[in-house]
Structure 1
Amino acid sequence: MPEHTYPTAINASDSPARVKQTNYPEPFASRMAGRLKHPLGDLFGLTNFGVNLTRLAPNAVSALRHAHTKQDEFVYILQGHPTLHTDEGRTQLSPGMCAGFKAGTGNSHRLINETTEEVAYLEIGDRTPGDEGSYPDDDIKALLVGGEWTFVHKDGSPYLR
């Protein structure tokens, strides 16, 4: 008999939101105010990739602008008109549009809700061990160790808790 039973199907909007708002340490964690993630992949026991239904309130951001060394990422806009901020500049997105970020390219990205309406989108990323995240705008670096994200300063020194 399996240890855990997973649902066959759910309404994504009814899924529980992630309890912990962000893994970022301060002073970055508070910058994620207004972002709400519903970890859909975890509900089904997915281990090779993650899927989140993410909502951004007006003026909220998806993440610090970042790039991954080993993890591909993909976003699909369901509702609203977020601004995609990449190394190439800013691009206005609308429902039905999508964007992908190939691992190892160094193209840093994030979504920003610069409107007065909520934004909703799906984000999909793999869970490749040994991934690292770089953040060109901030003094932070992410390391995926044992399936958990650890954050350090760019010089490798740890953030104090």
Structure 2
Amino acid sequence: MHIDPEQVPAKTGTVYPEPFKARLAGRSKRRLGDAAGLKNFGVNWVALEPGAMSALRHWHQRQDEFIYVLTGEVVLITNAGEQVLKAGMAAGFPAGEANGHHLVNRSAALATYLEVGDRTPDDQVTYPDDDLVAAAGDAGWIFFHKDGQPYSSSMSSV
């Protein structure tokens, strides 16, 4: 199926509960995998404005992730530190590897990248820098504090 990424609606915002939502300002996603009807993995074309981040630093228990930088440059932040990724560079994050990661656009220009992840059910996401854990449910993500207490209005569809 042919897809023109420019014709796929850009979605802004995040499924994170308050007080984390504001930290994702400046990020937009075009869900290319959904537009193609993919069932087993997702593909997003993500744009980060200067100063924006891809997500809170996190890692998945059951789902693999892969990113490929299309334009501009981003800073990949992991447990090992920081690394600049420029157009044409990629990174992967195997499921179950407790290596919190995210991307930050510290440049003065828009950066874009492809984000690919599988859709393995019953995933759990750990956010090492924040009081946040997410569990995938049938209706979307459910967010909890690290002590197990749910965030109010914590269920969000992806």
Task: Please list every run of 5 or more consecutive structure 1 residues that lacks an aligned counterpart in the other structure.
Answer: 1-7
- Residue 8 (structure 2) aligns with: 15
Greater fraction of residues in strand: 2
- Please give the alpha-carbon distance, in whole angstroms, between the structure 2 residues aligned to 1:14 and 1:96: 23
Q: How does 1:93-108 map to 2 (within 5 A)?
A: 93-108=85-100
Structure 1 segments of 4 or more deviating over 4 A?
A: none
Aligned with 1:42: secondary structure? helix
- Please give the alpha-carbon distance, in whole angstroms, between the structure 2 residues aligned to 1:151 and 1:45: 27
Tell me, yes or no, if structure 1 residue 69 matches structure 2 residue 84: no
Which residue, 110, 125, 145 being the options, matches 1:118? 110
Query: CA RMSD of the aligned region, Å?
Result: 1.0
- Residue 43 (structure 2) aligns with: 51
% same residue? 51
Count of aligned pairs: 153
Residues 3 and 36 in structure 2, CA contact (< 8 A), matched pair in contact too: no
- Please give the alpha-carbon distance, in whole angstroms, between the structure 2 residues aligned to 1:147 and 1:95: 35
- Please give the alpha-carbon distance, in whole angstroms, between the structure 2 residues aligned to 1:13 and 1:123: 16
**1:96-152 CA distance string (max 9 Å, x none):** 000000000111100000010000000000010111000010000010111611111
Larger radius of gyration: 1
Match for 1:109: what amino acid? H
Task: Please list every run of 5 or more consecutive structure 2 residues that lacks an aligned counterpart in the other structure.
Answer: 154-158
TM-score by length of 2: 0.94
**Against the structure 1 CA distance between its residues 15 and 95, is the aligned structure 2 distance closer, same or farther, given a 3 Å change threshold?**
same
Residues 129 and 147 in structure 1, CA contact (< 8 A), matched pair in contact too: no
